[in-house]
Structure 1
């Protein structure tokens, strides 16, 4: 289990996975060895000899040959590194995701002890696949070798190792331990729990033949360094090693040193309230036309960053039921915004900060434009919190208040203001003297004291504090603490218990934390928003692992339905709603026809299935005639199904008859295709459409000459009888199609006029980029009318977007659930 140096070829090689290199080309990478000094050659020979003895490399006859170089480790000892850059350029990249560091850090709240495990030469414990070994070949001045185990420097190595660790831990991930590549952390609330979890992890590693480096492991520490941060029971802070490096760093003396300082400081961007504006004096030195100048402005920027890292504020958790405000400000340097909420003590506390620098073009904007841009960018940044609730927008620009009613505004501001219509807010003007807390985000004054009052609390802390503020839970706690059980309180003793000062609910699989009414949103956010936006059942199962509250299923169901990201980005997985509505039978004196036109004007008679076509010389005809027709639902081909189906036949026939001629000649074949469709037997009708229409079989010119008039008379059909037979066949076919279609569909939701919905998104930009991560729905829209056959007329909620209503089929809609609906459920419970 523990090892620092591999002794045999098989001792620390796992059989769980192997490293496979897939190349985009078969041309091998070939380089000559880099030149080395005599002393360096001796070091290389010593290292390769050791690797050969340990079975990590072997001598090679591969056509591949990557060069090597020597680099120094932190302790000053040399390390042999293979320059795989050329190989990586032709390697097919894997897209296996590494865990999000912030997600890991969020999961570590509420624990008191931490154990970290580090694998011994982790990459070397993964074998290379047989077909990929030759691609890792490298050359030294004294030989040609190849890796039998996964080396450092390969493009896909981190992804392969992360996949390995995910497979090794399996169901233990998140529940027992977290893993980032080869760094494993085991959080626990007690020493006993930590030892039990450690035993489980060690047994799992042993099963997969993975070894650890004891000197790099730490056990049951109250404070540790993990992923560059300092983790403790009180929360997460920047790691002391990183902050010490910044505080001890001398002032930059060159452009290169400025870049290095910004790169290191940028690692902690989240912990610095006004990072963009503070670093502006430094970033402007990186411009090619800016001369080097280091004075008090640059030195103050460096000092402010250092102070901010050790005195950072901690943000409170967002609660959609609390009064919400967004404060914005702008300057020539940058834009800034703060999202605040008024807590139960009527104090304003920060939830999130936003800041960024202005571009060269934006710096030339008028102050009114900059202030409007600050509002737009801040609301974009805080969108996930603000959409669906009403909030107050506070700005020191009085002109913004009149923008909503102005008729003549510049186009740029007009475009921005149209986007702001998705939000529901009231504007409050506040003079700049009262906006210094936001002004520091767009400029660089000292941090105001009021924001520094925000304190950090763990998940266990805020849940326990919330229980102490809930009257119903306080009443239950009082009963349990009194230990007086009588018939009136017996049920409380049967269902509730106190552990470590927290109220728990007794359930079948143990005891779970009781969540106060006001804190259900936070729990749903932790178990839905922060772990992948999964559906109702997975979210509910995750919550039930640790928490309990009354009416959980109904509340979580509404929360998932109201999730803005899920509304926009997730397609429904259940059966599509809406049944098939065949064209109804028409009377003899009536006709029902379908029309489709863009380049060909096509008219389809539903009664006889005859087609009439002509080329449209002016494509605008199709749009101008829309007022004389009943429009079908958007993105719903079945609404004009017969025309859409025959389009495929028409196109294939035109392509075959055109036979590779110029694209402009296809219209000469339209009449021939029309005659062919009307003169051939239709499967549903059992005869030709022309015969149903005219009462006789259509003939070509040649047939008319050869056949006598007597034969023509014999060919005439009893039209009434024929059409009755056709109607029966069509009705039978429609019934079969409806049964087949409805078997795959669900019951349609009955929307009412005035309901808010989202509509499936079809207007994707033609950029050639993948659409997989783009929104699948847009909105909100409002139902303006109910139409027959599961169709609705909808229009945008915003006044700026209102046009003629759009007709949409029910399977293209999703209900828009607001947080207000969620609040009403919580109050009712």
Structure 2
């Protein structure tokens, strides 16, 4: 019989239920572990994700997959349920992967002859997923590569195929023609979505091929195994380049190697000397890295960009010549050379010769000339400088900004790995505009020279260079790196990410032909010195060298020296609490004309500042995702504040303890007039100054907490104060969203002008050990209302066997500990812990049940009663039964369940998949009552189910939505309060209109409508201005929903200009604008009835419909809206002519009309109130109105996926932080700090 050949059209993927969700799973014999993508897991109900010690794994192509955690899942193959521990990741290219752990556990056999996977010797099998025939696939380059002249490089190209033994590679002819490189045809082996090809450069110039370049096409061959097509390529987790794919050959000697380790050893032994000058090797830059693998990868990354350190290159960077000297029409300025010593003359000659050989300067015939000066550096060595002061005085300033140092450093928050790059003579690498070179001319005793590159000392050199660096780094700035002039810092959260970031930065600099200063570059550091500060993951503090200079500063002998000292220390003032108070006695030396008198007071301040700088506070880098806290204080000397953020730290007893750490200190001395302020004025000044002046950039646009030890300020924030100065400050503070709290003096360690900071006060922090995080689902499971019955709390009899191990038969599972102690049973969570595929029968056999009964006080007492009470029996296993009567006179024996097993039984018959399935109270009660007995069973079941997190989160309530109707008092007159809304989109009319606006007067019920083309804010503002305000006048108040068209700056500005108050309803609560919604419900059906069959003329019928609505009696007022609005009865077109009575006395007519209007207004308001009372009574009937306490844990309705039947109905947990009224609350997520304003109908309690 002819043997059947394997099918080339099947992959090693299967489609099976995973936790009851059909999932495409790749069975990979080459993977040691099983993996699942985070997005795939989010669609499943599963156990909590556990932390894992394994943080990342390596792929076959030397890539990295970061791991989030470990979760237990059930893979169902036909009738067989197989459990497996799966690692969760975001870097997987397929939904799920089963590795050798699952394969070996289930004795899996993949048969490509039958195209099926067999488990346990053929007990069951599942077909492989067939692969459709595909068009040729593109092989692309994942990262930029550079091929030196006359070199061949083997590179790894990306293909959207998991693996294949033989595929045909056809090179891209366009690539060969444009880049002048040779790419041969080849038969490739695809492994982990990559194939190796060679590219040869036979030209005299290096060839750079950018990433994502198409290298060629892949065609399927006759044999095709283990293929998994990827429909979407993810590019945000690319492998670190130049590690195993591009560095397989030496760029110096062209030797080729099988792997990166061999290439690394070759560099160290043979070709390392070719990189740089003597004592300048890559090995010296990475030798501090302890991990050998990381050190090798760092070495290869830096080695790839060896030309960045080439100090023999004299060519400038690749950019257009820069303009920096705009002097207008000013005539040239020239200065004669200054007399210098013989030593300095030799220094000038050497420097000129050096710059001339490098092409930085050229001989000049310019009419401009500036003198040369020699100054000493801080280490005493000479520095060649040019005095451009006269030239700078006539140069127009370039206002391009330099980044603020604190903004630059604070951006490094969350980073753990840093690299610092210093450009070698950065300015001298920038070409200068030809027309401006003559202006840079400098004169020496031997001649006249001008710069070809950007010189130092020009007014605009920093701005020009900063603009150039910003343009060069582009989008990498602020996210990957930061540049302050010629200093560049690269920062990342992990080592692997830093490999990618460093590669991107070096590639950009290499493309621009920048050169680096080897001696000032440092790579892969955990701490760096940058812009005068020490920076690490823990925060930032003053640089040691700068602190040393301050400590060595001599006692000032003049006002100028004292001023210089204050400037030095003031650079670090944000690290020094109480700086303004300490330095107050020295501030007088900053004023002109003040005589220098140095007394003991100044000496004390001088020494205190030195002491403070020797042990400065380590400031944390601000995290914009966390809330800020500001603590303020004031004294008769100055005001101060500290900006704090909550951090977490590890502790022995608890997982995380929140602490507050400083972001910045701020203080200043009081002005002479401020010293006469009262105490409350000084305290208010401290708040106003810290919020609006010092910390505004941190807290603007987000809610923050302000803590003060001055208790009268709490009431001050809520009421007016008879003080113009305080009222002015308070008006400014109204723009900020702050929560003011009082902190006692003993707890406020910022008191006494921020003299101390409370880092070491852990006993004051909130300690909550009842929260169990579950990051794998949409919520976090909180231990809520643990079911602890009266019998559970009773004292158990002492026993030597405190932890009874139950006997477990096949397919049995224990969902929680069966510890006999009451503490164990009282802390059982209500969260289901059984996998869907696990069949949970019972938790115990008769022996186990008997032991637990003997340890229960109540049952033990019954057992030892002689004779045994009626309706109780004991079997041969010493198990106590309760005899109960059922219908039709049936007697059944029920096991008397001890308190220690109640929680387990409740979880089994409610939470588990096959025994419970989360059904309701009565169904669960009838299920358990025929199997077990214990007192108060129904009450315990009710408590358990009402505390079930999954039920509270996912089940829909059949009752009326919670919350009584909150009636708004009707206005007292016409056109005082309006409600506005958009209706649409509706079928497009002939004129192209798809929306109409409805505006309702809440007193008269008068409606104004207009058909419009769109629902933008511009349209809404134009309608208000021209169709409402210019026609009927401006109201006092307008109510709208939270749509973008009503919350835009344009709409807000219009209402502010017209002094009209804008009231916005609570999100997802249309009842707050109920009258407008009700009018819409009336108008739309009538409008549809008047329109043609195609509904294309509805806009023509809108005004007639609106007029008829306004001209008919309204049930709430008893009058027509037209009559209330215009004080007359409307006339219709069909009305018959009537004899009009023309009044002869105008005053009489006016009096009659005024009396009529007042009568109608009173009647209408009375009818409105009566109608509201009836509506509220009808709405509140049989409707609960729950009240929630501040600090209570709740769930809120899931509005994002509300249309998905399988999405969670509620999400959370959230914490109630504020009660706005009986129906509306402000809640905050317990971990993400997300805040929302919700009504009671969208809240579900967790108890």
TM (normalized to structure 2)?
0.37
CA-CA distance at 1:257 after TM superposition: 2.6
8 Å Cα contact 1:225/1:239 also seen in 2:
yes
The aligned counterpart of 1:209 is: 513
CA-CA distance at 1:303 after TM superposition: 2.9
How far apart are the structure 1 equivalents of 2:621 and 2:433?
Answer: 49
8 Å Cα contact 1:388/1:819 also seen in 2:
no
The aligned counterpart of 1:16 is: 319
Is 1:419 the equivalent of 2:732?
Answer: yes
The aligned counterpart of 1:470 is: 773
The aligned counterpart of 1:30 is: 334
How far apart are the structure 2 equivalents of 1:110 and 1:341?
Answer: 14
1:578 pairs with 1020, 1025, 1031, which one? Answer: 1020
CA-CA distance at 1:432 after TM superposition: 6.2
CA-CA distance at 1:84 after TM superposition: 1.4
Change beyond 3 A, Cα 1:179–1:779: farther
Change beyond 3 A, Cα 1:434–1:284: farther
8 Å Cα contact 1:284/1:290 also seen in 2:
no
The aligned counterpart of 1:359 is: 671
Is 1:447 the equivalent of 2:756?
Answer: yes
How far apart are the structure 2 equivalents of 1:315 and 1:34?
Answer: 50
CA-CA distance at 1:136 after TM superposition: 0.8
How far apart are the structure 2 equivalents of 1:466 and 1:30?
Answer: 77
Report matched runs for 1:21-170 at 5 Å: 21-170=325-474
How far apart are the structure 1 equivalents of 2:509 and 2:645?
Answer: 46
Q: Deviations over 1:281-305 (max 9, x none)?
A: 2223334335422425533453345
Deviates more, 1:107-116 or 1:137-146: 107-116
8 Å Cα contact 1:330/1:370 also seen in 2:
yes
1:782 pairs with 1052, 1062, 1069, which one? Answer: 1062
8 Å Cα contact 2:473/2:508 also seen in 1:
yes
How far apart are the structure 1 equivalents of 2:635 and 2:475?
Answer: 51
What is the DSSP-based 3-state SS (H/G/I as helix, E as strand, rest coil) of the residue aligned with 1:71? strand
What is the DSSP-based 3-state SS (H/G/I as helix, E as strand, rest coil) of the residue aligned with 1:31? coil
CA-CA distance at 1:272 after TM superposition: 1.8
How far apart are the structure 2 equivalents of 1:187 and 1:374?
Answer: 36
What is the DSSP-based 3-state SS (H/G/I as helix, E as strand, rest coil) of the residue aligned with 1:220? strand
1:243 pairs with 530, 547, 555, which one? Answer: 547
8 Å Cα contact 2:705/2:739 also seen in 1:
yes
Is 1:293 the equivalent of 2:598?
Answer: yes
Q: Deviations over 1:341-377 (max 9, x none)?
A: 8899687766664422112222233444323322332
What is the DSSP-based 3-state SS (H/G/I as helix, E as strand, rest coil) of the residue aligned with 1:45? helix
What is the DSSP-based 3-state SS (H/G/I as helix, E as strand, rest coil) of the residue aligned with 1:67? strand
Change beyond 3 A, Cα 1:290–1:362: farther
8 Å Cα contact 1:98/1:180 also seen in 2:
yes
How far apart are the structure 2 equivalents of 1:823 and 1:350?
Answer: 24
Report matched runs for 1:699-778 at 5 Å: none
8 Å Cα contact 1:12/1:210 also seen in 2:
no
The aligned counterpart of 1:823 is: 1235
What is the DSSP-based 3-state SS (H/G/I as helix, E as strand, rest coil) of the residue aligned with 1:578? helix
How far apart are the structure 1 equivalents of 2:388 and 2:770?
Answer: 57
The aligned counterpart of 1:369 is: 681
How far apart are the structure 2 equivalents of 1:148 and 1:198?
Answer: 31
The aligned counterpart of 1:699 is: none
What is the DSSP-based 3-state SS (H/G/I as helix, E as strand, rest coil) of the residue aligned with 1:576? helix
Change beyond 3 A, Cα 1:130–1:439: same
Q: Deviations over 1:54-93 (max 9, x none)?
A: 3221222222122221112344332221111222232232
Change beyond 3 A, Cα 1:432–1:108: closer
Unaligned runs of 5+ in 1: 456-464, 490-572, 586-591, 595-628, 635-747, 764-775, 790-817
How far apart are the structure 1 equivalents of 2:595 and 2:727?
Answer: 35
How far apart are the structure 2 equivalents of 1:399 and 1:234?
Answer: 34
8 Å Cα contact 1:756/1:782 also seen in 2:
no
CA-CA distance at 1:151 after TM superposition: 0.7
What is the DSSP-based 3-state SS (H/G/I as helix, E as strand, rest coil) of the residue aligned with 1:258? helix
What is the DSSP-based 3-state SS (H/G/I as helix, E as strand, rest coil) of the residue aligned with 1:95? coil
Report matched runs for 1:579-728 at 5 Å: none
CA-CA distance at 1:146 after TM superposition: 1.0
CA-CA distance at 1:131 after TM superposition: 0.8
Q: Deviations over 1:23-54 (max 9, x none)?
A: 23332223233332344334323332332233
How far apart are the structure 2 equivalents of 1:295 and 1:584?
Answer: 73
8 Å Cα contact 2:373/2:385 also seen in 1:
yes
User: RMSD in angstroms over aligned alpha carbons?
Assistant: 5.3
The aligned counterpart of 1:396 is: 710
CA-CA distance at 1:214 after TM superposition: 1.6
The aligned counterpart of 1:773 is: none
Report matched runs for 1:139-288 at 5 Å: 139-188=443-492, 194-195=498-499, 197-287=501-591, 288=593
How far apart are the structure 1 equivalents of 2:610 and 2:1243?
Answer: 48
Change beyond 3 A, Cα 1:38–1:117: same
TM (normalized to structure 1)?
0.53
**Number of matched residues?**
531
The higher radius of gyration belongs to: 2
How far apart are the structure 1 equivalents of 2:1026 and 2:605?
Answer: 79
Q: Deviations over 1:476-521 (max 9, x none)?
A: 999xxx9x996569xxxxxxxxxxxxxxxxxxxxxxxxxxxxxxxx
Change beyond 3 A, Cα 1:447–1:58: same
How far apart are the structure 2 equivalents of 1:428 and 1:584?
Answer: 46
Change beyond 3 A, Cα 1:81–1:329: same
How far apart are the structure 1 equivalents of 2:609 and 2:442?
Answer: 47
Change beyond 3 A, Cα 1:34–1:468: farther
8 Å Cα contact 1:760/1:777 also seen in 2:
no
Unaligned runs of 5+ in 2: 1-305, 648-655, 782-815, 817-832, 839-1014, 1065-1072, 1077-1102, 1104-1224, 1229-1233
How far apart are the structure 2 equivalents of 1:200 and 1:427?
Answer: 46
Change beyond 3 A, Cα 1:67–1:419: same
What is the DSSP-based 3-state SS (H/G/I as helix, E as strand, rest coil) of the residue aligned with 1:128? coil
8 Å Cα contact 1:137/1:147 also seen in 2:
yes
8 Å Cα contact 1:756/1:783 also seen in 2:
no
The aligned counterpart of 1:654 is: none
How far apart are the structure 2 equivalents of 1:477 and 1:783?
Answer: 34
Q: Deviations over 1:447-500 (max 9, x none)?
A: 35x256699xxxxxxxxx99996345599999xxx9x996569xxxxxxxxxxx
What is the DSSP-based 3-state SS (H/G/I as helix, E as strand, rest coil) of the residue aligned with 1:328? strand
8 Å Cα contact 2:586/2:605 also seen in 1:
no
How far apart are the structure 2 equivalents of 1:156 and 1:432?
Answer: 51
Report matched runs for 1:508-523 at 5 Å: none
What is the DSSP-based 3-state SS (H/G/I as helix, E as strand, rest coil) of the residue aligned with 1:359? coil
What is the DSSP-based 3-state SS (H/G/I as helix, E as strand, rest coil) of the residue aligned with 2:370? coil
Greater relative contact order structure (CA < 8 Å, 6+ sep): 1
CA-CA distance at 1:427 after TM superposition: 7.2
CA-CA distance at 1:312 after TM superposition: 0.5
8 Å Cα contact 1:246/1:265 also seen in 2:
yes
What is the DSSP-based 3-state SS (H/G/I as helix, E as strand, rest coil) of the residue aligned with 1:62? coil
Is 1:303 the equivalent of 2:616?
Answer: no
What is the DSSP-based 3-state SS (H/G/I as helix, E as strand, rest coil) of the residue aligned with 2:331? coil
The aligned counterpart of 1:731 is: none
Q: Deviations over 1:737-778 (max 9, x none)?
A: xxxxxxxxxxx97679xx988678989xxxxxxxxxxxx999
How far apart are the structure 1 equivalents of 2:746 and 2:1058?
Answer: 40
CA-CA distance at 1:133 after TM superposition: 0.7
What is the DSSP-based 3-state SS (H/G/I as helix, E as strand, rest coil) of the residue aligned with 2:420? strand
Is 1:438 the equivalent of 2:751?
Answer: yes
